[in-house]
Chain A
Amino acid sequence: MKPSWQSALHCSVIGAAHQRQGKPCQDASMSCSLGSAQQELQLLAVADGHGGSRYWLSDIGSREACRAARAAVEAALRQHPLKDQEQWLRQLQTELPEAIQQRWLDAVQRDWQQQPDAQGAPFSSAVYGCTLGLVLITPQWWGCTGIGDWDLVSLEPGGEACLRSQETLEGGAAEATTSLCQADALSAWSERAQLQRFSAADAPAALVLSTDGIRKSCATDADFLQLSRELIALTSTTELERGLREITAQGSGDDVSVAIGIYQGATSARGRSALRRWLPPAVVLGLSAAGALGWWLWPRPPELSPLERQVAELCQAPAQIDLSLSQRQGQFAQLLRQPTAAQALINEPERDPLGALIAATANGTSALEACTPLKQALNAHWQAARKTPLQPPRSPQTPAQP
């Protein structure tokens, strides 16, 4: 049986601030395939060490958390058939949390005995404190559990990104999170546990698990969801690492981690086509090259220009249209001030496809081959920009930028 999911990528990158301070990366991540052909399971995990001086070994804590998660899931996989979904929901709610926490405690206690700086001090798991999020993906269901401020986003067949799990703490404590070092926090795991069945027709196109540094690097939650969509277009660990470096440098400065599972849908033409609708062709080719023979049997779509791809992406996710255009209000205004800047954007659509799309519609959308919601939104944004009093340009030489 061919797997329906491709365990894609995982990557952790040290935060810009930690790098500057000479601290280690306190995040860890993992993606791996477990079990046999009959018990195929993909595991994604991310862990985030707390990082403060009180948690001075949390880089080790997060690595051990990922290892403990893998060992505990492997042990459960040997005992329970994946088709027993009720059993696996219980696993996610209570049994895996207990097993992972115990394995983690054993591991960090062993590490403590090797620590030269421990000097006979009594062991405290708090110094290894970290969060842990894990996602289990099978051909029939996916599930998640964990503790702390990790986030899970699913990318639905239509291209919409949905936040499927986040930490919600009562009270106003800032930067607070639950932790693997809290022995009494098992209930926090069960609050995050869920198991979602799917068929080939409604399988999510991808699942993106991330530590909080990713979300905190985005201006808004809408940007975070958009970033999740764009992260899955990165097809190699090198690209992903480069992307994560950019995220932490321009964003929160925190360590950042993601683990991504992409639906391969070997048995589902609908699932495959849904993914293809909104993944750039380069990604589709990348996924094919990764080993899905069935992928090559599909009819190849005509190659789209960057501008056509942009139109297709927006039309596949109408909820994103206004959001995307609203972020470019300055660009609409700038193009009104400097109509000549439009040509530069149109000439290089690969540099800024959305900018090129906006520039190409400065004189109306009648010639644009696009869905009605996109045309209407473009017209509305141009109209709004024209109603806004024009401000003098900051510099007459400045090209139009988003």
Chain B
Amino acid sequence: MPFPNVRLSNRPLHFIYLCDCSGSMAAQGKMQALNQAIRQSLPGMAEVADQNPEARVLVRAVRFADGAAWHLAEPTPVQQLKWRDLEAGGITAMGEALELVAAALQSPPMEERALPPVLVLISDGQPTDDFDAGLSRLMREPWAQKAVRLAIAMGHDADLEVLQQFIGPEPAGGGKSPRRPLQASNATTLAQYIQWASTAVVGAASMPASRVSGSGESGSNIPLPDLPPTLLDPTDDVGPLVW
């Protein structure tokens, strides 16, 4: 070791799920589908992490219903993660969840050299608390501004407007885009989105190329990978519409 007094370090990549656990998630197997989708995505996520040793992928999860709480509080290396099932019941304290994440994105505890975090908000409904206050609190944190923010709408009752606010400005033009809420209308599509976020997005965020300030390239802090081809066109959605 040529630099004995220097802590060289790969860069932590914080991946945080914000999961809606309101009572409506119990209907039509949505909660079960979400648990299953996250659990199934972990091996692929671990593989991507292993392929990018310069990033240390650390997973956390927040659940929100009547209130918000850390479901997985410790930033856990994805290779060691064993997903514990979320349970549904209550209302939709989404704003409180954003405040919880905002506190975690302060520096410290966030590391100076962290990679831009990835925040994935998954919801099937509308916030029942002060979403604007929560979002405002979140976006005051520089790490939240730098974060890759994705949103998945489960079913057609999700509030796409608040999910878009969470992501940021809507891109021009129509069609599906990772810069818009991803609409999962069944368990298969949900699993594909979760898989994409936990592999392709994690891969992109693990080794980000420099981007030129003010060049207007991409609406995201990290150039996001394309959605899987089967998800590009709503008519390509796999499986029956169940939610």
| A and B are partners in one complex rather than unrelated chains | yes
Task: Say yes or no for B1: interface residue by CB 8 A criterion.
Answer: yes
Of the A-B pairs whose beta carbons lie under 8 Å apart in the complex, a sample of 14, sorted by A's number, is A53-B209, A55-B210, A129-B212, A171-B145, A173-B146, A176-B210, A179-B213, A181-B212, A212-B210, A218-B113, A220-B7, A223-B6, A227-B3, A253-B53
Task: Say yes or no for B47: interface residue by CB 8 A criterion.
Answer: no
A216: B residues at CB distance < 8 A: 11, 113
Contact B7 A174 (CB under 8 A): no
Task: Say yes or no for B116: interface residue by CB 8 A criterion.
Answer: yes
- Known pairs A243-B2, A251-B8, A327-B5; A173 contacts B211 (CB<8 A): yes
Chain B positions within 8 Å of A, measured between CB atoms, are 1-11, 52-54, 111-113, 115-116, 142, 144-147, 207-215, 217, 221-223
CB distance from B49 to the nearest CB of A (A): 13
The residue of chain A having its C-beta at the shortest distance from the C-beta of B3 within the complex is: A230
Chain A positions within 8 Å of B, measured between CB atoms, are 16-17, 48, 50-55, 126, 129, 131, 149, 169, 171-179, 181-182, 212, 216-221, 223, 226-227, 230, 234, 239, 242-243, 246-247, 250-254, 324, 327, 352-354, 402
Contact A251 B9 (CB under 8 A): yes
**Cα of A149 to Cα of B146 in the assembled complex, Å:** 16
- Known pairs A51-B210, A217-B8, A219-B9; A174 contacts B222 (CB<8 A): yes
With contacts A246-B1, A352-B4 known, what are 12 further pairs, Cβ within 8 A? A48-B210, A174-B116, A175-B211, A176-B213, A177-B210, A178-B212, A234-B2, A247-B8, A250-B9, A253-B52, A253-B207, A324-B5
**Cα of A246 to Cα of B8 in the assembled complex, Å:** 9
Partner of A182, one of B53, B145, B209, B212: B212
The residue of chain A having its C-beta at the shortest distance from the C-beta of B217 within the complex is: A54
Dominant SS at the B interface?
loop
- Known pairs A223-B7, A253-B53; A52 contacts B146 (CB<8 A): no
Contact A50 B11 (CB under 8 A): no
Partner of B9, one of A52, A171, A217, A324: A217
- Known pairs A174-B208, A176-B213; A219 contacts B53 (CB<8 A): no
CB distance from B46 to the nearest CB of A (A): 18
B222: A residues at CB distance < 8 A: 174-175
Partner of B213, one of A48, A178, A212: A178
Partner of B10, one of A129, A169, A176, A250: A250
- Known pairs A352-B4, A354-B4; A172 contacts B146 (CB<8 A): yes
A218: B residues at CB distance < 8 A: 6-9, 113
Contact B142 A172 (CB under 8 A): yes
The residue of chain B having its C-beta at the shortest distance from the C-beta of A234 within the complex is: B2
- Known pairs A175-B116, A218-B113; A149 contacts B8 (CB<8 A): no
A176: B residues at CB distance < 8 A: 210-213, 221
**Cα of A131 to Cα of B214 in the assembled complex, Å:** 15
The residue of chain B having its C-beta at the shortest distance from the C-beta of A248 within the complex is: B54
B9: A residues at CB distance < 8 A: 217-219, 250-251
The residue of chain A having its C-beta at the shortest distance from the C-beta of B221 within the complex is: A174
B210: A residues at CB distance < 8 A: 48, 50-52, 55, 131, 149, 175-177, 212
Contact B5 A220 (CB under 8 A): no
Query: Which of B7, B210, B223 is most buried by chain A, counting CB atoms within 10 A of its CB?
Result: B210
**Cα of A239 to Cα of B194 in the assembled complex, Å:** 45
